[in-house]
Amino acid sequence: MSFHTPRGLTNCLVGMVIKLARMDFAMSAKGQEYHDKLTEFMVEHVFPAEAAYDAYREEKGPKDFTVPPVVEELKALAKAQGLWNLFLPSESGLSNLEYAPLAEISGWSTEIAPEAINCAAPDTGNMETLHLFATDEQRTQWLQPLLAGEIRSAFSMTEPAVASSDARNIQTEIRRDDSGSGDYIINGTKWWTSGANDPRCQILIVMGRTNPDAASHQQQSMILVPTNTPGVQITRSTSVFGWQDQHGHAEIVYDNVRVPASNLLGEEGMGFAIAQARLGPGRIHHCMRAIGVAERALALMVARVNSRIAFGKPLAEQGMVQNAVALSRNEIDQARLLCHKAAWTIDQHGNKAAHGLVSQIKAVAPLMACNVIDRAIQVHGGAGVSDDTVLARMYGWQRAMRIFDGPDEVHLRTIARTELGHEKSPLAAAVVPQ
């Protein structure tokens, strides 16, 4: 028996095979070298430092935002070993695909490792923004000390009074001084300005409305505001499920804040475009780390079920528990492949081509991590919801990630619109009624 395949369909299938064959996620020799070095750094230095980090935070209390000294010690070690600024290709020479497994490793200790290697949000997104859009003077003043790990920064976009998932809603006003000085004057209230409570934070990237009469995507601009500028009022830090992160999530009132015109990033009306350029890589970095978070949760789950006896046998012998372990492994590996596909696409075709894939992984990775952590919490029982394990804190941050950098619903809408609008493949056209 023989089958005849239409020529158009044959060509389509061949094209798909070629496309897939060219998509190579194998770790390069350089990537493998960094992977081995970072793994050793985590095992020998980062994990042992977690106890000192937690002890410092507990002693100081939730209202203290100073960094535990052990973090600065780790930064010096990481810099000496060349494990520094790995996220930025122009600095590290690593592609996004090469960086992905490294970010995943740092996700095993999210409170310490990313900052220890100078790859922590929001600094990474801010450094990428400055790298792409800053003037030479702005880079010298702000980018260089950030790359050196000497200062920290924050990104001030979200507002309490509007749905900031739609950046066109931003109400903070950035206007030219009518007196002719050329300065900009900023008025508005922001919150979830992560990192601004840290005493090392010296610069804020503020998004606001400069051109209210322009087209909706051209009304916003971004401007650099030093934290010590008169009128910058950091009023509080918002907790995440009752937990205060070390660097804080600040609510900030900008009350007639005056900065020179030279502090503008790019041109007036570029704020929305800059935000999209900034958030693309930033979103995928969060997703890379989320995979590491999930791997740690799975490791804790496996250790727990192998050692815990219930109803006369280890939990690992319970069918429900085995199901939880198996589902977790499947979901982690699936998310990792999607994340690597998005990273590969950014490398090969740029941020714009990867837009849909970034939305996919942003909708997938945090939810996956929440699911895996939730299963780990369940097998730990009461210990899982307490501070006796890292699971509760891990869950809180991953749950929050389903909201920041675009909530799930926004990314799912993007995915759906792409799926509903794209041209049918020959396969789909052949089976769908005309």
Q: Confirm if 267 and 82 have CB atoms less than 8 A apart.
A: no
Token pair belonging to 16: 């798909």
CA angle, 310 as apex, 329 and 333 as ends, to 5°? 0
pLDDT in the model for residue 104: 98
C-alpha to C-alpha distance for 274 and 262, rounded to whole angstroms:
17
Question: What is the DSSP-derived secondary structure letter of residue 316?
Answer: G
pLDDT in the model for residue 9: 42
C-alpha to C-alpha distance for 25 and 28, rounded to whole angstroms:
9
C-alpha to C-alpha distance for 397 and 345, rounded to whole angstroms:
27
* Amino acid, res. 259: V
DSSP for 85-115 reads: STT-HHHH---HHHHHHHHHHHGGGTTTHHH
Token pair belonging to 236: 């509080």
Residue 348: exposure state from Cβ atoms within 10 A (0-12, 13-18, ≥19): middle
Phi, psi of 261 (to 5 degrees): -60, -25
Token pair belonging to 93: 């020479």
Q: Confirm if 50 and 113 have CB atoms less than 8 A apart.
A: no
The rounded average pLDDT for each run of 10 residues, N- to C-terminus, in the chain (434 residues) is 42 43 86 98 98 98 97 98 96 96 98 98 95 97 98 97 87 91 95 98 97 91 98 97 96 98 96 83 90 98 97 95 98 98 94 92 98 98 96 97 94 95 90 89
Domain ranges of the chain: 29-120, 151-269, 273-424
For tokens 């907790």, name the residue: 239
C-alpha to C-alpha distance for 131 and 274, rounded to whole angstroms:
12
CATH architecture of 151-269: Beta Barrel (2.40)
pLDDT in the model for residue 19: 52
Maximum alpha-carbon separation in the chain: 86
C-alpha to C-alpha distance for 363 and 283, rounded to whole angstroms:
10
Superfamily of domain 273-424: Butyryl-CoA Dehydrogenase, subunit A, domain 3 (1.20.140.10)
Q: Give 303's Cβ-side CA count (13 Å radius).
A: 8
Print burial letters for 141-166: b (CB count within 10 Å at least 16), e (below 16).
bbbeebbebebbbbbbbbbeeeebee
C-alpha to C-alpha distance for 282 and 84, rounded to whole angstroms:
17
C-alpha to C-alpha distance for 79 and 276, rounded to whole angstroms:
30
Q: Confirm if 19 and 433 have CB atoms less than 8 A apart.
A: no
Q: Which CATH class is domain 29-120?
A: mainly alpha
pLDDT in the model for residue 23: 85
pLDDT in the model for residue 57: 98
* Amino acid, res. 79: K
